[in-house]
Structure 1
Amino acid sequence: MLDLALSRPPTLGAGRLVLVDGPSGAGKTTLAAAVAAAAGARAVASRVVHLDAMYDGWEGLPGIGSSLAALLAPLAEGRPGAYRRYDWVAGRYDGTGTVEPVDLLVVEGVGAAAPGVAHLGTVLVWVDAPRDLRRRRGVERDGPAYEAVWERWEASEVETFARDRGRERADLVVDGAASR
């Protein structure tokens, strides 16, 4: 995946953008970390942005495309981008995250394949895993409270995926059920 991104022309100003999408619990965060580590080993400056920091809570998935476009637009011009940072404990936005231009930006999270930013993506990756495994991972990661909102979040994912068609547009499809 890193080789593919580096073989393509820059799409985000002078940098490249890897978008990692797929359902919750599929392994997107793990994959993004591995890509960043591989980039670092090759002296490629990278940064990972987690969409979890940008959603407007459990109901925020429908608006992530606009938030992502607002973050990436200045980066495409070689300027720092910013996003409103969501505090999941407080249940509200609390602060701003700043992203400086970098050689390789990896954006991971449900909705990363938003069509409004497709022209900025160097590589689009779709990560998937069986539903029961994804659900177990989600509850392990987010705690038992996640069970209460899983069905609503999953319904929002299904709507987002049908609208955005990220899997169909992906350059690579990764089996997230493999060992982490």
Structure 2
Amino acid sequence: MSSGPNWPPATGGGLDELATRLARLAPSCGPVRLVGVDGHAGSGKSTLAARLSALTGGAPVLHLDDVASHDELFSWLPRLTEQVLDPLSEGREARYEVYDWSNRTASGTRPLPPAPLILVEGVGAGRRALRPHLAAVLWSELPRKTAWERGRHRDGPELADFWQIWMAAEEAHFHSDPTRPHAHWLVRQSPEGRVGFRVFPGPAGHPRQQVAPDAP
């Protein structure tokens, strides 16, 4: 995506500024600005998406953990396309199946209105096949090993076996389909959680802005 005019770099800015910039992006999926929030498992993506949602007036958050499953850790794209991308691209409400990780089965469906801004959060949110539908890609900037340590501590010993499977799958995914080189912004969180977030330009540069109606 190309840089828009008069789009100054966000060198170390905070989430307030980023939220404002996200609201100015050009729509990317029909009338919707889809923003991918990607990063390693345990890197703080859910917290980041929740903060951005609050700062943007309640932008809906689609958690990819609800879309993935034990059998489809990363092969959920066809369902996401059919249940979410296709209806949103036509300005219609989406409705997607939600997976219950405890019972290993679908637990019903969840509506997703074609809001002006929707945050897609989860490992793989910035994958190659999704990027044409995304207005911007954010990368939760935390080293893989640190993120995985946080994730394993969060989930506890009962999920230790699953984490062994997950780490191998995630490593294979990012090896073949890396997101960070395509991120428009990198977001770093204080390890102690006291300072908050800092936002830096990503390797992909600035995403496309909304063009004003009176622009030439």
TM tier relative to shorter chain: 0.7 to 0.9
User: What are the ranges of 5 or more consecutive residues in structure 1 without an aligned counterpart?
Assistant: none
Q: How many residues align structurally?
A: 175
Q: Deviations over 1:118-166 (max 9, x none)?
A: 1111110111323443233223432322222212201111121122221
**157 and 176 in structure 1: CA distance in 2 versus 1, 3 angstrom threshold:** farther
Matched-pair identity in %: 35
Structure 2 residue aligned with 1:29, among 46, 49, 67? Answer: 46
Quote the Cα distance in structure 2 between the aligned partners of 1:124 and 1:157: 18
The answer to whether the aligner puts 1:159 opposite 2:176 as a matched pair is no
**158 and 61 in structure 1: CA distance in 2 versus 1, 3 angstrom threshold:** same
Q: Do the aligned residues in 1 keep the contact of 2:59 with 2:117 (CA within 8 Å)? A: yes
Match of 1:63 in 2: 75
CA RMSD of aligned residues (A): 1.8
Q: CA deviation at 1:93?
A: 1.6
* 1:43-82 alignment, distance < 5 Å: 45-57=58-70, 59-70=71-82, 71-82=84-95
| TM-score between the two structures when normalised by the length of structure 2 | 0.74
Q: Do the aligned residues in 1 keep the contact of 2:20 with 2:56 (CA within 8 Å)? A: no
Q: Do the aligned residues in 2 keep the contact of 1:25 with 1:138 (CA within 8 Å)? A: yes
Q: Do the aligned residues in 1 keep the contact of 2:62 with 2:119 (CA within 8 Å)? A: yes
Q: Deviations over 1:58-89 (max 9, x none)?
A: x4222133333231221111011122211111
Quote the Cα distance in structure 2 between the aligned partners of 1:62 and 1:14: 26
**89 and 166 in structure 1: CA distance in 2 versus 1, 3 angstrom threshold:** same
Structure exhibiting the larger radius of gyration computed from Cα positions: 2
Quote the Cα distance in structure 2 between the aligned partners of 1:178 and 1:107: 23
Write the letter of the residue equivalent to 1:60: E
Quote the Cα distance in structure 2 between the aligned partners of 1:98 and 1:22: 25
Match of 1:15 in 2: 32
Quote the Cα distance in structure 1 between the aligned partners of 2:47 and 2:128: 24
Quote the Cα distance in structure 1 between the aligned partners of 2:176 and 2:111: 28
| TM-score between the two structures when normalised by the length of structure 1 | 0.87
Q: CA deviation at 1:34?
A: 0.7
Q: CA deviation at 1:22?
A: 1.0
Q: Do the aligned residues in 1 keep the contact of 2:33 with 2:116 (CA within 8 Å)? A: yes
Write the letter of the residue equivalent to 1:72: L
Write the letter of the residue equivalent to 2:21: L
Decide which structure has greater helix share.
1
Q: Deviations over 1:89-139 (max 9, x none)?
A: 111122112211111100100111122221111110111323443233223
Q: Do the aligned residues in 1 keep the contact of 2:23 with 2:56 (CA within 8 Å)? A: no
Quote the Cα distance in structure 2 between the aligned partners of 1:177 and 1:158: 24
Write the letter of the residue equivalent to 1:33: A
